[in-house]
Amino acid sequence: MVATFPALRLRRMRRTEPIRRMVRETALAPGDLVYPMFVVHGRSVRREIESMPGCFHLSPDEAVREAEEALGLGVPAVLLFGIPASKDSVGSEAYAEDGVVQLAVRAIKAELPELVVITDVCLCEYTDHGHCGIVVGGQVDNDRSLELIARTARSHAEAGADMVAPSDMMDGRVGAIRSSLDEGGLRDVPIMSYAAKYASAFFGPFRVAAESAPQFGDRKGYQMDPANVREAMREIEMDIQEGADAIMVKPALPYLDVIARARDRFDLPLAAYSVSGEYAMLKAAAQNGWLDERNAVLEALTGIKRAGADIILTYHAKDAARWLRAS
């Protein structure tokens, strides 16, 4: 006999919090989170980013303090973005030994050796034209960009980064980075590739924060069309073949189906990047009193985990970790 209403009542298992806890299918934990930070040159700099309330431009010394706080809350990893002293056509500071990310990596690893320091590898914060690669004849030249992107990754790893995360979306960059790391004796440094990264309007607040908006055109010639999911599987497959150790889908909330499909299909650790626009929307609504920030943030992050992400990169990481520990 198949039980159905009135014998069957699904509400029974939702009656009390302890019961709900027992049957909860998805457990979000501070250990799932990665905290992205923006580093700038200088000392004692801690400047709030207008488009991302609660996030700051941090000099290396302040980045150490911020990272220490995140680690203390149970967040195991940070992701570093750099705002250089100056920009040029080839993004020189991206791969400079005294580049801002390199300085911050050294400072953080010296104080917090157990914290996993991941670096975002791209040229757009460092180029005067704001594109993620080298521009030749008004176009982003894939193959010429590879060498500089690989050099950037190697420079980060030489400074002590535990993991590198290329976000440029050039074809062949994972392979190029792997070769460059291996040649440099950095065989044990893993690559987390932004494998399926979309040309998204939700990067808007980040581009204000990183001063990295393209000065002409857009990124649609290298980042993915938001309408495509089968192509995302090909992007991921290609990065795995080139040697990616973990894969990422970005953004997260508008792309939960992409996360779910990637989870079904691939066995690598899967990360999802809940980007600046997702953060800014929740922050703005919360600041207006239109959403309960704690509940909305934890619901959004739980949804991303439920879709299949093992790792969630989020600007809410410190707050979320604090709330999770208190609950």
Binding footprint of Zn ion on the chain (CB under 5 A): 122, 124, 132
Return all residues near 194 (Cβ < 8 A) that are at least 6 apart.
Answer: 165, 166, 167, 169, 248, 250, 273
Nearest Cα to 167, choosing from 194, 143, 144? 194
The interface region with ligand PBG, picked from 27-35, 135-143, 201-209, 280-288 by CB under 6 A, is: 201-209
For 34, list phi and psi in degrees, rounded to 5.
-125, 135
CB-CB contact of 247 with 271 (8 Å): yes
Query: Closest distance between ligand PBG and the C-beta of residue 188, in Å?
Result: 24
Q: Can you list the alpha helix ranges (DSSP code H) found in the chain?
A: 17-22, 60-72, 100-111, 142-159, 173-183, 204-210, 230-242, 256-265, 276-287, 293-307, 317-326
Question: If contact means CB under 5 to 8 A according to the sort of partner, which of ligand PBG, Zn ion, none does residue 106 touch?
Answer: none
Q: Which is nearer to ligand PBG, 116 or 182 (CB)?
A: 116
Q: How big is the site for ligand PBG, counted in residues (CB under 6 A)?
A: 10
Closer to ligand PBG by Cβ: residue 142 or 276: 276
Q: What Å distances lie between residue 280 and 120, 286, 314, CA to CA?
A: 20, 10, 11
d(CA 118, CA 70): 14
Which of ligand PBG, Zn ion, none is residue 62 near (CB under 5 to 8 Å by kind)? none
Cis peptide before 269 (omega within 30 of 0): no
Those residues with Cβ within 8 angstroms of residue 288's Cβ, 6 or more apart along the chain or in another chain: none
Residues 136-175 that bind ligand PBG (CB under 6 A): 167
The 3-state DSSP class for residue 290 equals coil
Q: Which is nearer to ligand PBG, 211 or 293 (CB)?
A: 211
The answer to whether 323 contacts ligand PBG (rule: CB under 6 A) is no
Residue (165 or 300) nearer to Zn ion, CB: 165
207, 294, 306, 322: which one binds ligand PBG (CB under 6 A): 207
Question: Segment contacting ligand PBG (CB under 6 A): 27-35, 55-63, 93-101, 119-127?
Answer: 119-127
- Tell me which of 197, 283, 305, 318 is the catalytic residue: 197
Q: How far is the CB of 145 from ligand PBG (least distance, A)?
A: 12
CB of 120 to Zn ion, least distance (A): 8
| Span of 3-11, 146-154, 200-208, 256-264 interacting with ligand PBG by CB under 6 A | 200-208
- Minimum CB separation of residue 117 from Zn ion in Å reads 19
- Minimum distance from residue 287 beta carbon to Zn ion (Å): 29
Contact assessment for residue 38 and residue 81, using Cβ atoms and an 8 Å cutoff: yes
Tell whether residue 102 is a contact of ligand PBG (CB under 6 A). Answer: no
Nearest to 265 by CA among 253, 252, 247: 247
The minimum distance between CB 159 and ligand PBG, in angstroms, equals: 19
User: What is the three-class DSSP state of 190?
Assistant: coil
Give the residue ranges of DSSP H helices in 23-164.
60-72, 100-111, 142-159
Nearest to 243 by CA among 194, 281, 193, 285: 193
Beta bridge partners of 274: 314
Choosing among Zn ion, ligand PBG, none, which partner's interface includes residue 242 (Cβ < 5 to 8 Å by kind)? none
* Contact status: 106 vs ligand PBG (CB under 6 A): no
Active site residue 87: no
Is residue 250 among the annotated active site residues?
A: yes
Residues that bind ligand PBG (CB under 6 A): 120, 122, 124, 132, 167, 203, 206-207, 275-276
Report, as residue numbers or ranges, the catalytic residues. Answer: 197, 250
